[in-house]
Amino acid sequence: MSGPDYRKRVLSADDLSLIASEVPALCDFPGVRPWNRDKLWADVLDALIEARTKDQRAAAQQAIGAIQALDAIDQLFVRHDR
């Protein structure tokens, strides 16, 4: 039995943007549409630093987890034409 061929990258940055826009923890952050990973990370980390309540910190942590999952998808499945 063979595993998936990870060399065949089938997603684009637009696909990541669409996925991120459907994640409740990320949908309100700039950087989701159009996809800008660096801007998204910066805004989420700012939200974590600025968090004043337990709920705000939890929301920022959820956003960080979602970005980490998207980073894994990016590494495995997004085609980077360079």
| pTM (two decimals) | 0.81
Residue 57 is predicted with a pLDDT of 96
Residue 55 is encoded by which pair of tokens? 């709920």
Distance CA 49, CA 65 (A): 16
Segment 2-9 long-range contacts (CB within 8 Å, at least 24 positions apart): 6/76, 6/77, 9/77, 9/78, 9/79, 9/80
Please report, in tens digits, the pLDDT of each residue of the chain (82 residues total): 456 665 666 888 899 999 999 999 998 898 898 889 999 999 999 999 999 999 999 999 999 999 999 999 988 888 776 5
CA distance 27 to 2: 36
Tokens of 58: 């939890």
Q: Note whether 44 and 64 are within 8 A (CB).
A: yes
